[in-house]
Structure 1
Amino acid sequence: MAQYRLTMSQREVLEALIRLYEQKRRLIKSKEIAELINRDEGTVRNIILSLKSLGLVESKTGPSGGYMPTLKAYEVMKGAVTQMPVKLRKDGEEIDITVVGIEVLDILNPEGGRAILRVHGDVRRFVRPGDHVELGPAPFAGVRIEGDVIHVDPASGQISIKITRMISVPKAPVMEAASRNPITTTPDTPITELAKLLSEKRIRGVPVVENGRLVGIITQTDLTRALAEERVDASVRDFMSTPVITVRETDDINHAIELMNKHDIGRLVVVDSTGSVVGMITRTDILKFIAGLQR
């Protein structure tokens, strides 16, 4: 196959086209691509024309027309993930290694694919074979990759990993996955009353609101601690967590994942521009959204 040296813009548009086509399984409009990558539609059309001249895109005119990637496009883009950089994490902790490019290999191998990471940083100091590493989401593609380090090449700035998990997180605001208008409690609510509420509603945590202002969050874990300390006469105020890690309703789902990983928590309170509680999003909500199981 001939070698194609695509520009960053061409690669970005082709990645977007492939991703949208795989999601929707129909011809894709240039407007949809432009919205996904936040580019001018006229610019996108011009880039598509250049890709079409290379035999990477097919098109159909008319009201029901649009664009689709060719098989050659899949060959050219196989394994390519661009729009870095992102920080590398080892055993869940961010390290001072920046991934600036990824090439995925043998993705259809039943024993697991491999990936070559091009990185900046002192790989000798931070990474060695056998380490479990994670990266993502890539700013554009939303791809997250986990794997075990096979080989480290400090001279070329490359790390080879065996992929253990790779997912693509849709670019969407958190409210598309979050539970809306969540149940809340107050700081003065007795712990016993809250325990009954969580049991009846089958939920594991609620925001704590006082005079319309978010002041804390309390979870099933906090209730277990209260029980262990035999504080059955306590109120929510005594065991709630504060300050509360929140996410804006307009933030991307990937940002919510980053916050959960950074703070090692399983849920976030979703607030609007005034700071009012409008939703709750959990790891389970995100997994259901990725799997297409949300309501």
Structure 2
Amino acid sequence: MGPYKLTMSQREVLEALIRLYDERRRLIKSKEIAELVNKDEGTVRNIILSLKSLGLVESKTGPTGGYMPTLKAYEIIRGIPVQLPVKLKKAGKELDIPVTTIEILDMLNPEGCRAILRVQGRIRGEINVGDKVEIGPTKIANVRIEGEVTHIDLATKQIGIKITRLISVPRIPVGEIASIGNIITIEPDATIKDAAKLMIERRVKGLPVIDSRGRLIGIITQTDIAKAVAEGRIDATVKEYMSFPVITIRSDEDIGDAIELMNLRDIGRLVVTDSEGKPIGIITRTDILKFIAGLR
């Protein structure tokens, strides 16, 4: 990784910081790092200062302060490639402008942080100062950034943006946060009234539809129920109003993949399957938001 030749102690402390930050999603105290690496806290602080001088650590003082790794730190420790397989988007439209490097600046600035994007392709006429842009999610770091263009350098192909939203989704298997086991299903010949009653009793917003052979053939949601009620057909069968084919995701896939799939299909839940395609649970937008917010 070029000029970054870390000592064994520096690498150990940086790896510990990244591990703790990924687990707890907050600023990390030097005491926590010291406990993990079994070193004196004063020694850890000195090592962190050296890492900060290399641009690998950000810090904030005060009672709620602590340390966090920079994106460069992830690149050094985890070998994140410089070439990111992601294109710039403007107004939701993907442009033929690949982003090769994302450098985050002023991470702890209360007025908002900035980023420098190094790009390829044609910039002139495609991007202007003031444009709202999106990047990501990146395939490896799983980072998504939204911002406003503040500067364009055509010579070096660099774009400066003021970040309005930065989301880093931890790489966690869907099965770890989905509602797995005891999946609540309904048969296709059940009535809309039966489905509505079951949703109310079990406090769910969607029911996978399973045929007599145990195969997943559809899903009925509150939206489908509302449509049937509006049409005065509460005695209609579930199969008349269910959605199909069912969008599924394997339990071992990443929650970032679940988010991307939900956004792509404009749906709020996915049926979770095992390796053989058998439905074993449900994951919803709410499940993911609660997890990211630290509520689960």
Aligned to 1:71: 49
The separation in 1 between residues aligned to 2:125 and 2:13, in whole angstroms, is 37
1:270, CA displacement in angstroms?
0.8
Match of 1:18 in 2: 17
Aligned to 1:196: 197
The offset of 1:168, in angstroms, is 2.2
1:89-145 CA-to-partner distances (Å, cap 9, x unmatched) read: 434454433222111112222121111112233334543333333333333333222
Alignment map for 1:88-127 (pairs within 5 Å): 88-124=88-124, 126-127=126-127
8 Å Cα contact 1:88-1:134 kept in structure 2: yes
Counterpart AA for 1:251: E
Query: Aligned AA for 1:70?
Result: I
2:289 alignment partner in structure 1: 287
Counterparts of 1:241 and 1:153 in 2: how far apart (Å)?
Answer: 48
Structure 1 length-normalised TM: 0.74
SS in 2 for 1:139: coil
CA offset at residue 77 of structure 1? 2.1
Match of 1:5 in 2: 3
The farther-off stretch of 69-78 and 242-251 is: 69-78
Q: Contact 1:136/1:143 (CA < 8 Å) preserved in 2?
A: yes
Q: Is residue 80 of structure 1 aligned with residue 91 of structure 2?
A: no
Taking a change above 3 Å as real, the CA distance of residues 128 and 260 of structure 1, as seen in their structure-2 partners, is farther
Residue 21 of structure 1 contacts residue 27 of structure 1 at CA under 8 Å; is this kept in 2?
Answer: no
The normalised TM-score by structure 2 is 0.74
Pair 131,112 (structure 1): closer, same or farther in 2 beyond 3 Å: same
Distance 1:136 1:122, change over 3 A: same
Matched, 1:221 2:220: no
Percent identical residues: 51
Q: Report deviation, 1:28.
A: 9.3
In the comparison of the two structures, how many residue pairs are matched?
Answer: 255
Partner of 2:144: 144
Asked whether the equivalents of residues 21 and 28 of structure 1 are also in contact (C-alpha less than 8 Å), the reply is no
Deviations 1:226-252 (A, max 9, x none): 222222232111121111221111111
Deviations 1:65-85 (A, max 9, x none): xx9962322442255355323
CA contact (8 A) 1:248 1:271 kept: yes
Q: Supply the AA of the counterpart residue of 1:188.
A: D
Q: In angstroms, what is the RMSD of aligned CA positions? A: 3.0
Relative to structure 2, which stretch is displaced further, 193-202 or 122-131?
A: 122-131
Matching residue of 1:180: 180
Asked if 1:261 is matched to 2:263, the reply is yes
Asked whether the 8 Å contact 2:13–2:48 carries over to 1, the reply is: no
> Structure 1: how far apart are the matches of 2:287 and 2:143?
18
The SS at the match of 2:217 is: strand
Q: Which amino acid aligns with 1:206?
A: L
Are the aligned partners of 1:85 and 1:101 in contact in 2 as well (CA < 8 Å)? no
Deviations 1:129-181 (Å, cap 9, x if unpaired)? 33333333333333222222333344433222211222322111111111112
With over 3 angstroms needed to count, the CA separation of the structure-2 counterparts of 1:269 and 1:124, relative to structure 1, is: farther
Deviates more, 1:164-173 or 1:15-24: 15-24
Flag structure 2 segments of 5+ consecutive residues without an equivalent.
Answer: 25-31, 58-69
- Report the AA paired with residue 246 of structure 2: V
Q: Contact 1:204 / 1:220 at 8 angstroms: preserved in 2?
A: yes
Of stretches 100-109 and 129-138 in structure 1, the one that deviates more from structure 2 is: 129-138
